[in-house]
Chains A and B, each alone.
Chain A
């Protein structure tokens, strides 16, 4: 019997399996993603980037920035913190609850992990906790009273504090080396790239991760100066200067408002100025638009509620962080 056609079919299906798995299925699942709402405030997320930032994305693509910069924050897990917001009226009961919760309590497994992986600049848990400490704690509210717990542990602590008449909440806190480094508040998810083309999550971190560079460095002028001369900010930077995105030109009647403010050793000779080309301005707009830190259902985290207004006057719009990840919000 001739097995040729049968073998051909078998090979075809073997090859087709990965095609179905990683082309067809992602297209059905991820390719059909829609905008979603943030957990805090329910703002629409993501919002398309501004036109200038979209042009900047193309500059980013053309110059292969993704060869050195990733845009994916990675998260190794999620822990819960107990946030005490109000002490209530029965201070003694709250203090004794705090003492019960903290004094002599051994580190939980998640706490130990959080410490060993250095999760967060958050202080390591206090080992000896006195009544004095508890009293001091109550003067600085809201305050994280326990950190790095599992959800049931945190909920139990919240219950105990609530029973003492205080107001407490369980906060969801993503952890991981990237997050501890300040590269983001949560992991990067598919939603963050919804309106981008091409999507360039990067393969390598020759330079720092840029998923949230717009949060860390929101000033486009900083980016322009950095693109022109990366060495001015970090002597040992391995980033090449992108002088071809700038032009040196004679100052006409008065200096251009866009001209770079440079340290003397980099400044051009008098009568000349360094002006960013449109591509550089677009790239800076794109970089400042990179903010992928909105709390989402797929990557939850608790963010601080807006500070309570001092008066009864309505909150000024924009003063809230209802949509901290909305890229076009600036």
Chain B
């Protein structure tokens, strides 16, 4: 990675790359922001049900078991994957000093993807959930999602192929692998779990494989691609070590997919054992990421206070490290400790999707969009407001959930404690986490406001002048006969 490349390609090329992807990137991030807002609305409804179980219990579509997966699917497919694809496309174009290939494909793909998420989340609320965690969206939505992804992914591969800078930056490795990995795992899971399901408990293994492959391979690949690009870029440094980053790449793709099967799962014992070993091996990429980010930022910590985008990406990377530590702790725990089926599981999942991936994506969006629009965000204060809302929201959601899980695990261990007493002791924490959900809803609204504000700021002068042009011709037309 040369110094020249980090300080950005030639302005003309950059402008060209950005102009080609401007409309689709705006569409992608606006769509993602809408899904984030909608998802956290569902999250809030689900969370309030712990204060009053009969809250919105009458309509079938708002029952907890439907709202909760609807929320996670909005977040995962509507926000995370969509925003991840947007950032990936921009990075491929920028790092390859080229333009996004066939933006029309991306446009159609994005529309299909969003239609797919609408159909999927609607299907879950309607009662068509598949019953597999993280894969609840029914089969008819899966076709749209798959097709949409393939179109966007095709454009990504073509963009990569058309690169003018032959030397690869590490982020390109990460993104290229991620582009191929999602259709692979999604097709596998859809075919073997939904279209022509395998028999019995093999479904449990494949479902766990899908969850791990998405949460511990795809999300880290895309999120770290962004982190390894934006952290040095925004701190105006070189990435400390390309080799450490590549070590992370190889370790994640090698062990990530193996990490899904928890101790005590109703499967042959070698599977949870393999999973535990693989999860422990995550220590290697964990240390490599921590070292790389720390060394890159060493001496430039002030940049975190100056630049909201950098603060977001850094906080997100920290979230990933915490998530991996928690994951290792959960995998290492003995079956005798009943911690695997407690609130620690959702705490880990939220830490991984919100605390890591979503935060990195917010930062990436704040770094990418001003360049694409060639204007600044209307209000820097709102960016910081978003940052503090999002970070405190994640903390106030994940920490209480983790505490609830810990209390639950400790008390479940003693069979003399009635189950209702266990529930009661974890309830105050669950109720506290509603605050986190509320803050995240506000954070997502601010994000939507910021992205929409920038879009308006960019398109309004053009719309006004276009309108002026259009209306200016009218007198001429009238004067003609």
**What is the interface of chain A, defined by CB distance below 8 A to chain B?**
11, 14-15, 17-19, 21-23, 26-27, 29-33, 61-68, 70, 72, 74-77, 117-118, 121, 176-178, 180-182, 187-209, 230-231, 234, 236-244
List residues of chain B with CB within 8 A of the CB of A244: 58-60, 63
With both chains docked as a complex, state the minimum distance between the C-beta of B163 and any C-beta of chain A, in angstroms: 12
A-binding segment of B31-39, B64-72, B377-385: B64-72
Tell me if B335 is interfacial: C-beta within 8 Å of chain A: yes
CB pair A30–B129 under 8 Å, yes or no, is no
Indicate whether A67 sits within 8 Å of B266 (C-beta atoms), given known contacts A11-B177, A194-B199: no
Interface range, B side: 35 or more
Whether B266 and A31, one on each chain, are in contact in the complex, defined by CB atoms closer than 8 angstroms, is no
- B415 near A181 with CB under 8 A, answer yes
Chain A at the B interface: SS class: loop
Given A15-B184, A15-B257, A203-B345 contact (CB < 8 Å): yes
6 contacts between A and B (CB under 8 A): A19-B184, A22-B261, A23-B206, A64-B69, A176-B335, A177-B412
For the complex formed, measure the closest distance between the CB of A248 and the CB atoms of chain B, giving whole angstroms.
12
**Taking the complex as formed, is B463 at the interface, i.e. its CB lies under 8 A from any CB of chain A?**
no
Asked if residues A241 and B64 are in contact (CB atoms below 8 Å), the reply is no
> In angstroms, how far is the closest chain B Cβ from the Cβ of A45?
13
Contacting residues, chain A, for B184 (C-beta < 8 A):
15, 19
Are A240 and B64 closer than 8 Å at their CB atoms?
A: yes
Given A190-B268, A236-B423, A240-B64, also A27-B192 (CB < 8 A): yes
A30 to B202, CA, bound (A): 5
- List 16 extra interface pairs beyond A15-B253, A204-B343, A208-B419, CB under 8 A: A27-B198, A63-B65, A67-B64, A68-B64, A72-B264, A74-B264, A74-B340, A74-B341, A117-B336, A191-B200, A193-B200, A200-B132, A201-B265, A203-B341, A238-B423, A242-B63
Closest A residue to B345 using CB positions: A203
Q: Which residue of A lies closest to B132 (CB)?
A: A198
* B residues less than 8 Å from A207 (CB atoms): 423
B271 & A203 in contact (Cβ 8 Å cutoff): no
Tell me which residues across on chain A come within 8 A of B427, comparing CB atoms: 238
Taking CB atoms, residues of chain B closer than 8 Å to A240 are 49, 53-54, 57, 63-64
Given contacts A204-B343, A238-B427, A244-B60, contact A190 B66 (CB under 8 A): no
Say whether A180 contacts B415, CB under 8 Å: yes
Q: Is the CB of A66 within 8 A of B131?
A: yes
Contact in complex: A22, B193 (CB < 8 Å) = no
With contacts A30-B268, A118-B416, A198-B132 known, is A22 near B258, CB below 8 A? Answer: yes
B202 pairs with A236, CB closer than 8 A = no
Give the CA-CA distance A177 to B21 in the complex, in Å.
56
CA distance A23 to B265 in the complex (A): 15
Shortest CB distance B211–A (Å) = 9
Residue pair A30, B201 in contact (C-beta under 8 Å): yes
Task: For the complex of A and B, list the 8 residue pairs with the smallest distance between their C-beta atoms, beginning with the closest.
Answer: A64-B65, A18-B257, A26-B205, A190-B201, A180-B415, A62-B127, A31-B202, A198-B131
CB contacts (< 8 Å) of B423 on chain A: these are 206-207, 236, 238
Alpha-carbon distance A178/B409, docked complex (angstroms): 12
CB closest residue in chain A, given B188: A23
The answer, yes or no, to whether B332 is at the interface (CB within 8 Å) is no
Q: A18-B209, A76-B334 are in contact. Are A121 and B260 (CB under 8 A)?
A: no
